[in-house]
A and B are shown apart, each in its own frame.
Chain A
Amino acid sequence: MTYLLRRLLWLPVIMWAVASLTFLVLRLVPGDPFASVANQVLDAGQLERTRAVWGLDEPLWNQYGVFIGNLVRGDLGVSMSSGVPLTRLLFEKLPPTIELALAALIVSSFIGVGAGVVSSTTRNKFLDYSVRNLSILGLSVPLFWVGIMLIVVFAVRLDWLPVGGRIGAGVDYQTVTNFMLLDHVITGNWVALGSFLQHLTLPALAVSLTSAGFAARVARSSMLEVIRLDYTRTARAKGLRESVVILKHALRNALLPVLTLQGLQFGTLLGGAVITELVFTWPGMGRMLLDGILKRDYAVVQGAVIFVAFTYVLVNFIVDVLYHVVDPRLRKSS
């Protein structure tokens, strides 16, 4: 209990540290960050306000104070290149990235556990070998390349799935939370839900491959651990089909390490989502971040990095909590 409490108290501290580090790194930018930004879109007033938020003329400490003060109040400033408030951009772009990472999490867990089960229980050495090698292949293939391949094969050649975007062109839908799964269910819009899920499939698949590879390996070794242990014991104790019992027990045991791993993998998934979004025209943080870098729009870069990192920190925290709630035996001193 105290552990959890301590972790909870650390959470804002870590978030503060993440924001501060991002702040520091972006102040390393040589020259005036505003020098490169087109003044065409920002009018004089917006430019002044954005400059004030950045307070470049002030000493670093003052800038930092302003930055933290604004952050706490939820004001992240405006985009240097379009004048749009960061909070609005984040509302639009953060949920799609989270959706993608979560979907990849689920897909990779299924694939990983499935593969792990198959390779640990089969007597067919070849199958075991194949699955193991496929797992390694999965985590070796470059993400962007997989994306391109998937598009060519499934979207263009086979025409099974769409090429890109988050939802079909011209599909009517309402935005409530901007998490499409929730929104479409809430509004009962099944057409939109179907279109969204179709569009989610390939990108989620691409992002999931790396973690699926890891998950498969962990699932396999955890299951093997249990299977070997239990085989001798239960084979004699029960008259039932040991295989089923062993499998169930092994599976249950394997799930915990896999889920922990997946939680840790979420960071990789978020990073992977950022890259994959470009290939699939997924309108999330990846595109926003890269456009920001290309345009030297440091306000956008700052906001994007901080919030993706925040997401990661939060998810880690949740995973940690769940882990300790589910299996207090494995609590370790940190």
Chain B
Amino acid sequence: MVYPLLKRLLVVISLSLCWAAFAQERGGTLVVATESMGDTLEPGIWTGFGSIHVLDNVGEGLVKSDFTSGDPTPGLAESWTISEDGLTYTFKIRQGVKFQDGSDLTAEAVVRSLSRYTNAEDASYTEGFYMQSGHGAGNWASLEATDASTVTLVLNQPDSTQLHRLSRPSAYIISSAALDSFGTDIGTNYVSAGPFKLEKFVPGQEATLVANEDYYGGRPYLDQLVLRAYPDEASILAALESGEVTFTTYAPFTSVSRLQASDTTNVEVGPALVDLFIGASAKNAPTDNLDIRLAVNYAINRETLILAGLDGMAAMPSSILSPTDFGYDPAGEAISTYNPDLAKEHIAKSGLPTPITVDLAFESNRFWPTLAELIKADLEAVGFQVNLDRLDSGTFWGKAGEGALQLSINQRSTFVPDPNDKVAILHSVSSPGGQTWHELLPRAKEMDALIDAGVATSDEAERLEIYKQIQALALEEMPYIYLGYLTPPVFSAKNVQGIPLAAAAAGRFTLEGVWLEQ
């Protein structure tokens, strides 16, 4: 009589113990500081990294990108096959998955979500979407739901990066029901099938997310995730110090060493995956002259720049790809030598009278102003006269689009872990203009051919050779003058565990694996 009761009691006790062991990992709120938050989460337009961080946690696409291994992994598509000629992709959609509003994930929903950017009939369509070029839509011949759980994508040209492209926020699958009910307001009421769901969105300010209980990968550990925009590094630092913010990649670098030693905060330094560079416009004088570009390159003291502007959080650069990228070739290291005499020689060769006036544009937040000041000092020491042009991101990119810039500082990380993501900005057809107007460079066609070849093949050896040539060509024509490879520090409270370091450093973090030690 007692035995079955005792057995039952034992089961209950052991189950509770198991539950208790995991219970300490569950729950809690993580407050993330971002440098900005868009007025809308609409993925068809760019509204800053803050929106991307929200989308990366609420949304999910057919494919997920692993920043550590560099491989595409199954997302909402549980498997796929690619045809021999590399043109047809057949995706098997995961069964039994529900969107955060309870509706079902179907092949139809996938097709609709990916086609809405170019379908004027869709309820959520507004003119002016352009982010779809990122996920490759310009190269799609057809996209169809061949049955309830299969989606077939046919490309015009082979693209070895297509799978990774589908992990971009613009390719996340949005609930059809939500698209119907919210229409063009989907940007403030985003619904997808990711690990967290959007509970509250205050445009321009913050987004509150809660755990998606029905996430197919299992409920995330955190109960709540808040992403809040702070106007500057000083406020982010203060919030981090006081414990209001428990995770950020935007705190000032000047605090890294102190916080690493503190017992309330953790700082992990990410891999060298972000390129920092000066873009030199081939459209405007004086930067259209190669000698001027080379002069700028040799005039800059990168060691000082990295120490004083980035508090050591960067490595010396050598090319357009960084050490973490597939295909990286360190052969170009010599380009980073500080050689003001050589710079002056190039200025003399250019034939332009000194002082040469040049505008240096940069964004007004984070470390850009500091870098600009240091660069200005270096350039003026060899015969330039530098005008600093401090802009906000929107204005910066507006001017870039019009070709109004001469020298401008910026960064590029791989949005997805594929080298094409970094070199594609040099393609004259798919990515003209920008900071460099590289389509005007003498060997632009050669560059285009190389870039196209890089995505056309998936043979690793071939790709290695192609990217080697791309890097060499980029150094010869110098549309970008490299400043360093940023090693982004990731700041978190001591009790935050499970942070995806490489992804966080790249600015594409999904926090389903994060838990708080109680």
Contact = CB atoms under 8 A, between A and B. Distances in A.
B395 A296 contact: yes
Most buried by A among B39, B206, B224, B226: B39
A38 B230 CA distance: 22
A241 B58 CA distance: 70
B326 interface: no
Given A163-B239, A281-B235, A170 B224 contact: yes
A45 B208 CA distance: 32
A295 interface: yes
Given A162-B244, A281-B230, A39 B398 contact: yes
Contacts of B228: 165, 169
Contacts of A81: 394
A45 B126 CA distance: 10
B47 interface: yes
B242 A156 contact: yes
A287 interface: yes
Interface in A163-197: 163-165, 169-170, 172
Interface string B228-268: 10111011001101111000000000000000000000000
Which of A37, A162, A283, A294: most chain B Cβ within 10 A? A294
A43 B126 contact: yes
Contact of A41 (B45, B234, B238): B45
Contacts of B203: 84, 92
Interface of B: 29, 31, 39, 45-47, 126-128, 130, 200, 203-206, 208, 224, 226, 228, 230-232, 234-235, 238-239, 241-244, 364, 391-395, 397-399, 401-402
B226 A40 contact: no
Nearest to B200: A172
Contacts of B244: 162-165, 169
A244 interface: no
A211 B346 CA distance: 60
Interface of A: 35-45, 81-82, 84, 92, 148, 151-152, 155-156, 159, 162-165, 169-170, 172, 278-281, 283, 287, 291, 294-296
B394 A295 contact: yes
A304 to B, nearest CB: 14
B238 A151 contact: yes
Contacts of A155: 238, 242
Contacts, number: 95
Contacts of B391: 294
A287 B37 CA distance: 13
B2 to A, nearest CB: 48
A36 B395 contact: yes
A155 B234 CA distance: 13
Which of B226, B238, B401, B402 has the most chain A CB atoms closer than 10 A to its own CB?
Answer: B238
Given A37-B398, A41-B47, A151-B238, 9 more contacts: A42-B128, A84-B39, A155-B238, A164-B230, A165-B244, A169-B31, A169-B228, A281-B231, A294-B392
Given A36-B395, A41-B394, A44-B128, A159 B242 contact: yes
Contacts of A294: 364, 391-392, 395
23 contacts: A38-B395, A38-B398, A40-B394, A40-B397, A81-B394, A84-B39, A152-B238, A156-B238, A159-B242, A163-B238, A163-B239, A164-B235, A164-B238, A169-B208, A169-B226, A169-B244, A170-B31, A172-B200, A278-B231, A280-B235, A291-B392, A294-B364, A295-B392
Given A156-B238, A169-B31, A40 B45 contact: yes
A204 to B, nearest CB: 17
> Which 7 residue pairs across A and B have the least CB separation, nearest first?
A43-B128, A38-B394, A38-B398, A169-B226, A43-B127, A294-B392, A163-B238
A41 B128 CA distance: 8
B239 A164 contact: yes
A152 to B, nearest CB: 7
Contacts of A92: 203
B25 to A, nearest CB: 19
A294 B232 CA distance: 14
A278 B393 CA distance: 18
B311 to A, nearest CB: 20
A170 B226 CA distance: 6
Contacts of B402: 35
B34 to A, nearest CB: 12
A38 B238 contact: no
Contacts of B235: 163-164, 279-281
A184 to B, nearest CB: 15
A17 to B, nearest CB: 31
